[in-house]
Amino acid sequence: MLAQQKTTVAKVGHVDQKWYVVDATDCTLGRLASQIAMVLMGKHRPQYTPHVDTGDFVVVINADKVVMSGRKLQQRHYTWYNGYHRQKVESYAERLERKPTDLVHQAVKRMLPKKNTLARHMLGKLKVYAGSDHPHQAQKPIPASFGYQAEK
């Protein structure tokens, strides 16, 4: 007789969530965002369950020093509709100068599951700061090295 294998399914509140702090200085935006999204979803854990939030908190510092390869800062752009006849257009370089944390936040948001409550909950565990200071010292975040340092 064969031994039965048991599959464990994570339940809400049974997973201990850790805090990680990531320094985004000279990290490529896409690589950094994809690894942060994996940690927010919990795919780095063996007890990952798609319908349960098993992810950890991530604090990103120095978001204003993130880099992009090639000429993407000048060539890529954000567009949004503001109620008038034309859309607003802003390049990534302009957005980095105006709202430095928004590039990292939007890149991670686009790598999470789309348009559901669980994705909004996961995104709420992402804390992005432009400088090197953050108010989450009481949580004792673990330094992590997500992303790859860009080649100069």
- The tens digit of pLDDT for each residue in 73-93 reads 999 998 989 888 888 999 999
Domains of the chain: 19-67+102-144 (3.90.1180.10)
Give the range among 9-13, 25-29, 68-72, 119-123 with minimum mean pLDDT.
Answer: 9-13
For the whole model, what pTM was predicted?
0.88
Q: What is the largest distance, in Å, between two alpha-carbon atoms of the chain?
A: 71
End-to-end CA distance of the chain: 61
Residue 65: pLDDT band (50, 70, 90) is very high
What confidence score (pLDDT) does residue 150 get? 58
Using DSSP's 3-state secondary structure scheme, residue 143 falls into strand
Residues 25-40: tens digit of each pLDDT: 999 999 999 999 999 9
